[in-house]
Amino acid sequence: MAAVDRRDFMRGAALAGAGLALGCGGEDRRTERAAPTGGSAGTAPPGGSAGPPPPLLIDRASVFDVRAGTMRPNTSVLVQAGRIGAVAPGTELNADSGAAQGAARIDGSGLFVLPGLIDAHVHVTHILYQSYMTGDEVLPFYLGHGVTSIRSTGDNVPAQRLVERYADERPEISPNVFRCSFLIDGNPPWHPDVGWYLATPADVDPFVADMAAWGVKTLKIYVGTGREVGRRVIEAGHEHGLVVSGHLLDYHTADAVRDGIDCIEHIYTVSNFLLDDPNDRHSINLDSDEARRLIDIIAEHGARVDPTLMVFWGTLLFMDLPEVYGHPDHDAMPARLKAFWDKDRERRILDWGAAPLSVREGTWEKYLRLTGMLREAGVQLLVGTDAPEPQVAPGASLHHEMEFLAEAGMPAREVLTAATLENARILREDGNRGAVEAGLEADLVLLEADPLEDIRHTRRIRTVVRAGRALDPADILSAAPAG
């Protein structure tokens, strides 16, 4: 998201200390393995880096089929060597099956199995550096809330690599981390800590080659990039097999979509081009021909939209409301992060918060309505949050975002598919994750209530399975710092 005042941002290499801090406390914060619930066969698997966990049978549960959007009752899942070995009816695969001999067993009765959730918009180091925190420290919040993968959408590239390495070494407390480029921006970059200025199209190719060599999944075009450079970023990114995403302002979203951008970040990257008064961010007109055209162009070209409603709720529109800044999801956040959120809130209140509450509520309703309009036009929505922006709690906020998407008119089955399969697709990871299907990584969430009945049931997590390890969410969360 765009900051509204860059004075607070430190210039220069804000992350110089990240490498030193990354290893801090890693060993003593490692959790013990949670024993599979209701299990009888076998003991809890050994620690994260000690090799693949032993087989695990989730015996006769309800399993979410991301392609059909339905729960398949009485279905078993066999996990072997960290991957899903088989998914089959309970009559064919159960504790008595030969294939399941020696596997630890989870009694699946009354449980609902989802693919691991993916947050499509987070920052791994950006934001956190203002809290004197490093990206590794908040990873347990994601995994403890069933978020088994996170998609970075713009950050310092070497710092992300360090956080990813940390996550890979500690899968029992960390999601998979997928990296993004620096924010490709104008001069000066809006965010000095993570921005990168590309002056001309000729500057694009070497930069994109560097990003590809670093192994990023996503290139992110930011507010100050114009069409000439932006179009070359999209072309060069695609030549390297990268996904190109944008939080746009100088580059009109309609142009970027025509030029082939894959993904639009934040609902206001659509609505900011639909203002009756360009100087009033609240003057969104969704009933104009222009609005219809922009929505249709996005749909026709198949660009995804990642609304990140959470950051508008938490950071921009309602940051001064006690029910927002005092939301129970924030209780567990580290004191350093909350201190930054409190400090930042004072600044935000002078900007977006200066508009009367009724005006801000009107803008929120338009964001929800536009989200629904995009969906109805056939645009695939993603589920991202912008954590850890203020009042956007890593992990818990993904559940809140899903609730907002449901409020915007998205049926629960679509929300769940978006947060799993579609978020995996935008990472080009659908061959590895995003579904409960044989051959994929065994990243799963076991719920105690049916999320198709009520999307809020995604919060009722009994067990998180990460790379085949059955984990107790409370144990994962206990690995996160309080201070």
Interacting residues with Zn ion (CB under 5 A): 1, 386
Record the tokens describing residue 85, joined without a space.
Answer: 């070995």
**Which residue lies nearer to Zn ion by CB, 26 or 192?**
192
d(CA 460, CA 53): 25
DSSP state of 150: E
Task: Report, in Å, the least distance between residue 139 CB and Zn ion.
Answer: 17
Number of helices (H), then strands (E), belonging to the chain: the values are 16, 17
**Which residue lies nearer to Zn ion by CB, 119 or 386?**
386
Record the tokens describing residue 401, joined without a space.
Answer: 């975002």
Cis peptide, bond prior to residue 73, ω within 30 of zero: no
Q: Give the three-class secondary structure for 38.
A: coil
Record the tokens describing residue 398, joined without a space.
Answer: 């993904």
Q: Which amino acid is at 254?
A: A
**Which residue lies nearer to Zn ion by CB, 232 or 266?**
266
**Which residue lies nearer to Zn ion by CB, 179 or 469?**
179
**Which residue lies nearer to Zn ion by CB, 221 or 445?**
221
Task: Report, in Å, the least distance between residue 127 CB and Zn ion.
Answer: 8
Task: Report, in Å, the least distance between residue 417 CB and Zn ion.
Answer: 23
d(CA 395, CA 171): 16
Q: Give the three-class secondary structure for 184.
A: strand
Name the H helices within 27-101.
none
Task: Report, in Å, the least distance between residue 331 CB and Zn ion.
Answer: 24
Task: Report, in Å, the least distance between residue 1 CB and Zn ion.
Answer: 5
Task: Report, in Å, the least distance between residue 266 CB and Zn ion.
Answer: 7
Task: Report, in Å, the least distance between residue 173 CB and Zn ion.
Answer: 24
**Which residue lies nearer to Zn ion by CB, 62 or 218?**
218
**Which residue lies nearer to Zn ion by CB, 419 or 476?**
419
Q: What are phi and psi of 161, to 5 degrees?
A: -60, -40
Residues 1, 315 contacting (CB under 8 angstroms): yes
d(CA 280, CA 430): 40
